[in-house]
Amino acid sequence: MATINQNYQKLAGSYLFVEIARRVAAYKEAHPEADIIRLGIGDVTQPLPQVSIEAMHKAVDEMAKAETFRGYGPEQGYDFLIEAIRKHNYLDRGIDIASDEIFVSDGSKSDTGNIQEIFGTDNTIAITDPVYPVYLDTNVMAGRTGEKQENGYYKGVTYLPSTAENCFSPALPDGHVDIIYLCCPNNPTGTTLSKAALTQWVDYAKKEDAVILFDAAYAAYISEPDVPRSIYEIEGAKDVAIEFRSFSKTAGFTGTRCGYTVIPKTVTGKAADGSRVKFRDLWNRRHTTKFNGTAYIVQRGAAAIYTEEGQKQVHELVSYYMENARIIREGLKAAGITAYGGVNAPYIWLKTPNHMPSWDFFDLLLTKVNIVGTPGVGFGPCGEGYFRLTSFGDRENTLRAVDRIKNQLKF
């Protein structure tokens, strides 16, 4: 008889956003007339940059001719995209990353989840609380944690509280951990870590021989000068950090799927015999075994954003969503609601009024003003009493949502 991976039994009944979708669907079925505005899941609403559309149309035409048709491509990504990434995001910023240290994929969600496969199951992990659920859930699935406790925490995990009390900049662990997940700009809080704060994390990782898994999916939204766009701007980070990037929020590729992971050859782990092994080589082995590469058409679309016109169009796209963030943030303030984020990230993290539990606030927004957001507790116990809104809606719906909150909710 086939048996199951028992670690899945430790997980909550459903993924956070699946539960949100279930509740919204049930409400919509009972109230088909409801005009629901969705500011919950971090999905974009604006079209792809025109340069990407044109590049993909051209790539489709190439696939129609035998002389330009492409089948399997390099699993790590085509050179034209890797070199564009390397130049724009690293070399032009004074960061020396080699071409064979960049791996193109179908998105950073996949990579941040799959990366745990190249680490031993006896590694200890640290995550911020609240946190993007994928980091924790994939380690639970792998058996790297104990059971979930009544307080919402898993045994065997080091949690790093990230709250208003510490300005959403978590303290270093009290003791040793092997793997540290950091997301900056942060999902869900929309806040950032300064260069000084990141330097402390790199110094800790070097001292403890740990690895930092750094999710920089929202780097394009950074506007303040003291916030690093890449962890490799920090001296020594190339020895201890793996970085994840995405085209999803940068260029609207949530449905097109493209991202990449950077693993310098200087990031190593210890084998059973005591020798040091490059994590880059392990990821390459995993990548080539389990992945046949991102579609050529998609990679052409992604590469187009690095042209001069592409950068202009991406800037306009990011500015559109950040103006939405400003509207939401200022609207919440006008309604007497405390909010954070929305300056260097497309997320607004608000304090629920009157100490209301976050799922109760979800139900209030849904039933009273037909707005969907994300309960903070879904991102971890420290998220209780908070709530996430995204700025990825269109402008009209963003304005309508803020108007409803200001004028129809009274606290």
Of 271, 288, 307, the residue at which a domain comes to its end is: 307
Same domain for 347 and 242: no
**Residue 375 reports pLDDT greater than 90:** yes
- In angstroms, rounded to a whole number, what is the distance separating the alpha carbons of residues 138 and 161? 20
Contact criterion met (CB below 8 Å) for 280 and 38: no
Question: 109-123, pLDDT tens digit by residue?
Answer: 999 999 999 999 999
Q: What is the pLDDT of residues 68-79, one digit of tens each?
A: 999 999 999 999
Q: Which among 132, 194, 153 is positioned nearest to 344, based on CA atoms?
A: 194
Whether 291 and 176 share a structural domain: yes
Residue 349 lies inside a defined structural domain of this protein: yes
| pLDDT of 13 over the 80 cut | no
Q: Per-residue pLDDT for 289 more than 90?
A: yes
Same domain flag for 250 and 269: yes
Note the helical H segments in 291-394. Answer: 296-303, 308-334, 358-369
**pLDDT of 212 over the 90 cut:** yes
Range of the domain at 14: 7-47+309-408
CA dist., res. 130 & res. 48, Å (int):
30
Q: What pLDDT score does 41 carry?
A: 80
User: How many domains are contained in the chain?
Assistant: 2
**Residues 211, 269 contacting (CB under 8 angstroms):** yes
The answer to whether residue 2 is domain-embedded is no
User: Do 149 and 65 share a structural domain?
Assistant: yes
CATH of the domain at 323: 3.90.1150.10
- Nearest partner of 180 among 131, 142, 220, 143, judged by Cα: 131
Is the confidence at residue 411, as pLDDT, over 80?
Answer: no
- Residue 123 maps to which CATH number? 3.40.640.10
Domain boundary residue among 307, 336, 363? 307
| Residue 31 sits in the same domain as residue 163 | no
Q: What is the mean pLDDT of residues 240-250?
A: 97
**For 97-112, what is the mean pLDDT?**
97
The pLDDT of 355-383, averaged and rounded, is: 96
For position 17, what pLDDT does the model report? 81
pLDDT in tens, 44-95: 999 999 999 999 999 999 999 999 999 999 999 999 999 999 999 999 999 9
In tens, the pLDDT along 312-355 reads: 999 999 999 999 999 999 999 999 999 999 999 999 999 999 99
When pLDDT is cut at 50, 70 and 90, the band that residue 15 belongs to is: confident
For the stretch 139-181, pLDDT in tens is 999 999 999 999 999 999 999 999 999 999 999 999 999 999 9
Mean pLDDT across the stretch 196-223? 97
**Whole-structure pTM value:** 0.96
